[in-house]
Amino acid sequence: MSAFTFVRLDARRASSGVLRLRTMDVTAKIRRILKEHGRLSLDADTLALNADLYEAGMTSHASVNVMLALEGEFDLEFPDHMLKRSVFDSIASISAAIGELQAAAA
Amino acid sequence: MAGEYDPQTFYDGLVRHGLIVPVGVPGAFGRGAVFEDVLERFNALVSQLARDDHAEVYTFPPVISRAVLEKVKYLDSFPHLCGAVYSFFGKEPEAKALAARVNEGQPWGDLLGITDVVMNPAACYPVYPSFSGTLPQAGRQVTMLNWVYRHEPSNEPTRMQSFRVREFVRAGTPAQVLAWRDLWLQRGLSLLVALGLPARAEVAADPFFGRGGKLLAINQKDQQLKFEVLVPVISAAEPTAVCSFNFHQEHFGTTFGIRTPDGHTASTACLGFGLERIVMALFRTHGFDPEGWPAQVRRQLWP
């Protein structure tokens, strides 16, 4: 991903402030979905962006529910090549995948 | 048997030789005497391999408690394969309405209600509730021969709605369970190769439902939780899984409160020989008439 993708995406909005807000917005939404569907043993609000979600207690089945909730929230569909463990193993990697899909759709 | 692999040709051959008997529904054919003879003899070879393990022997019916299926969250992963048993709960007027609908050729499923049993979809499921509590020091080892049901009607002969699995289940510490799984993977492969089948083992995944299922399958493969032994039966490029070896980690231990003597949640593993598929692999590899099978194969099955 992806800082590059975001920059390109938001170039039209022409403000790094917008970019920052947008990234924060995405991260906040991911944290909320992890809280609702991730069944984590740690607090999704304070989890580091690179913390391993599976190590934080997310089961395979919970990761499916997280994936489906992300698709609903961001109105996108993860393509087959993104349906893998490494895409859903941290807030940062989820955010990167969403950024990539949003950029492709823009 | 020489020639191309083709599901229809193979199915027709099985029927023509009286090995299977069509019943009008895909994947639910009857089995003839010769088919059953080979199946029982193969099963006896498996028993011989397991002789010194002293596994407890059980037989369960083709239905299991619906509560057990719900508890193991089967429907989270395999809603498409589930077969629940529905029965009639009404009185006279409802019975008349039901018969009328059936006789008129109208749909009648909505006049039935769900029962407390479902078709058993995995040979190992019925035994786990009996493991609840603390295991003995050596863990538990169980073997069963159970009918299982999967709702996947198909004209392809190896994809059956109802079939038998010779199953083994182990509960204990992760080390006990994994060593046992690896031992059986070798035993299973050696047995099939000795019977002249071009068998090989591969990391595999369960047929989880839907797009979420793809993620589950990839996770399962990454963690090497499932192995299958494959033999070409209807396709050379996509050989058929005839045995499966599954490490469940603590899934059933947590679900049914199974503990090791030191108080930890127990691990479990299971493995199954798909008996009909193995018999079909033998017919596909050596021909439809067992009289003509290679002597070294016959010697093992007809000692």
Q: What is the mean pLDDT of residues A66-87?
A: 93
Q: Write b or e for each residue in B122-145: b if 16 or more Cβ atoms lie within 10 A of its Cβ, otherwise e.
A: bbbbbbbbebeeebeeebbbbbbb
C-alpha–C-alpha distance, residues B255 and B129, integer Å: 9
Q: Best of B74, B76, B78, B219 to disrupt the A interface by mutation (most A CBs within 10 Å)?
A: B219
> What Å distances lie between residue A20 and A3, A7, B278, CA to CA?
10, 10, 60
Q: Is there a domain that residue B108 lies in? A: no
CA distance B223 to chain A (A): 10
C-alpha–C-alpha distance, residues B75 and B93, integer Å: 34
Give the tens place of pLDDT for each residue, B117-163: 999 999 999 999 999 999 999 999 999 999 999 999 999 999 999 99
| B97–A contact, CB cutoff 8 A | no
Low-confidence winner among A21-25, A43-47, B253-257 (lowest mean pLDDT): A21-25
Residue A85 DSSP symbol = G
C-alpha–C-alpha distance, residues A35 and A53, integer Å: 11
Asked if B165 and B274 touch (Cβ cutoff 8 Å), the reply is yes
Collect all residues of chain B within an 8 Å Cβ-Cβ radius of residue A61.
Answer: 73, 76-77, 216
Q: Which residue has the higher pLDDT, A3 or B214?
A: B214
pLDDT of A16: 53
Collect all residues of chain B within an 8 Å Cβ-Cβ radius of residue A80.
Answer: 214
pLDDT of A14: 44
Domain total in chain B: 1
The amino acid occupying position B44 is A
pLDDT of B64: 98
B76 → chain A, closest CA residue: A61
| CATH code for residues A3-105 | 1.10.1200.10
User: What percentage of chain B carries pLDDT values higher than 70?
Assistant: 99
Residue B184 belongs to what domain range? 7-64+121-301
CA distance B76 to chain A (A): 8
Collect all residues of chain A within an 8 Å Cβ-Cβ radius of residue B216.
Answer: 60-61, 64
Give the tens place of pLDDT for each residue, B9-64: 999 999 999 999 999 999 999 999 999 999 999 999 999 999 999 999 999 999 99
Which among A61, A65, A85 has CB closest to B222?
A85
CA distance A80 to chain B (A): 8
CATH code of residue B142:
3.30.930.10
Does residue A61 register a pLDDT over 90? Answer: no
Q: Is there a domain that residue B96 lies in? A: no
Q: Which residue has the higher pLDDT, A104 or A5?
A: A104
Give the tens place of pLDDT for each residue, B179-218: 999 999 999 999 999 999 999 999 999 999 998 899 999 9
Q: Is there a domain that residue B39 lies in? A: yes
**What's the per-residue H, E or C state across chain B?**
CCCCCCHHHHHHHHHHCCCEECCCCCCCCEECHHHHHHHHHHHHHHHHHHHHHCCEEECCCCEEEHHHHHHCCHHHHCHHHCCEEEECCCCHHHHHHHHHHHHCCCCCHHHCEEEEEEECCCCCHHHHHHHCEECCCCCEEEEEEEEEECCCCCCCCCCCCEEEEEEEEEEECHHHHHHHHHHHHHHHHHHHHHCCCCCEEEECCCCCCHHHHHHHHHHHHHCCCEEEEEECCCCCCCCEEEEEEEECCCHHHHHCCEECCCCCECEEEEEEEEHHHHHHHHHHHHCCCHHHCCHHHHHHHCC
B250 → chain A, closest CA residue: A59
Does residue B2 register a pLDDT over 70? Answer: no
Give the SS3 label for residue A11: coil
Asked if B144 and B120 touch (Cβ cutoff 8 Å), the reply is no
Q: Is there a domain that residue B176 lies in? A: yes
> What Å distances lie between residue A37 and A58, A73, A88, B204, CA to CA?
9, 13, 13, 27
Strand partners, B169: B142, B270
